[in-house]
Structure 1
């Protein structure tokens, strides 16, 4: 799924211009990111839940050189599909 696809669906559903639909898709994505930053979790009922998880620092391997490297601790976003989404798919 892409931002263009979301904008196209919004445009067809709301019968608005492409520019307005693109702006709405951008605003939607920004709102989701803002909510993830604020609460660490975002749920769309009947679709699923996005959660922010911390990752620990670890050792990795450069695939080209085989050299060991250090990977810093960070954050990642996980998605868990709702049971109703799993049934639909």
Structure 2
């Protein structure tokens, strides 16, 4: 989903100008980002939750040269879909498979 799609959805559903819809979309996305940064978790009803986790430094290797390298510590994001999202996605996938089998 792109910011442009969010803006277009806002414009068409509440009938405001493009400038106002852009500002509103920016405010919403900014609030979501701030919540994730501040709390380390963001729950979106009917969609799922996004959490931030710390990753420790570790060693790895370059697959081309087999040379050992150090991988810096950092953060990783984990998304966990809601039950309704899983159910809807599974139904959609089954429908697509049936349609492909017919065609």
Q: TM-score, normalised by structure 2?
A: 0.74
Q: Report deviation, 1:68.
A: 3.1
- 1:3 & 1:52 partners in 2: Cα distance? 22
Q: Report deviation, 1:62.
A: 4.1
- 2:3 & 2:67 partners in 1: Cα distance? 37
- 2:80 & 2:47 partners in 1: Cα distance? 9
Q: Tell me which residue corresponds to 2:54.
A: 54
Q: Report deviation, 1:64.
A: 6.0
Q: Report deviation, 1:61.
A: 3.5
Aligned Cα RMSD in Å?
A: 1.7
Q: Tell me which residue corresponds to 1:76.
A: 76
Deviates more, 1:17-26 or 1:58-67: 58-67
Q: Report deviation, 1:51.
A: 0.7
Q: Which has the higher contact order (CA 8 A, sep 6+)?
A: 1
Q: Tell me which residue corresponds to 2:16.
A: 16
Q: Report deviation, 1:3.
A: 1.1
Q: Report deviation, 1:40.
A: 0.8
Q: Which has the higher strand share?
A: 1
Q: Tell me which residue corresponds to 1:40.
A: 40
Give the number of equivalent residue pairs: 89
